[in-house]
Amino acid sequence: MLLGHRHPDRSWYPNVWDVPGGHVDPGETRMHALERELREELGIVIDAGTAVSVLTHSPKPDLDIEIWAIGAWTGDVINAQPAEHDQIGWFSIEHLDDLVLADDGVATACRLAVGHVAARSSETGDESAS
């Protein structure tokens, strides 16, 4: 599971671990926003055909958080926006409880995403996806 540690100077959810991503701009689809955000933040181009929305969580009336499982991408994952995330890291599901997360729903969504990718890979016989 790839997470970014939000920079302590951020006004929204500072100094916590969260999934990469951001806002949907006016006139933009959720998929285009996902592609744009991951290109800007991580320097990767996702294979949109492998992206599956796993969970939408609304912790506040004006905030919807959507968690995606991404099965394939092109490029090396880098921290392309260090002012937003002061670090990024890959974590196993077992380590989620050791992190301070932006919201309780993040751990649940991460577990669902990993389960979805594992189920999808067993259906297709692709062991590299898990």
Residue 22 pLDDT > 70: yes
The more confidently predicted of residues 53 and 28 is 28
The domain ranges of the chain are: 2-129
- What CATH number does domain 2-129 carry, 2.30.30.30, 3.30.1490.20, 3.30.1180.10, 3.90.79.10? 3.90.79.10
Contacts 24+ apart (CB under 8 A), 19-25: 19/67, 19/106, 19/109, 19/110, 20/85, 20/88, 21/66, 21/68
For 51-105, how does the pLDDT look when each residue is reduced to its tens digit (9 = 90+)? 988 878 777 777 777 888 888 999 999 999 999 999 999 999 899 889 999 877 7
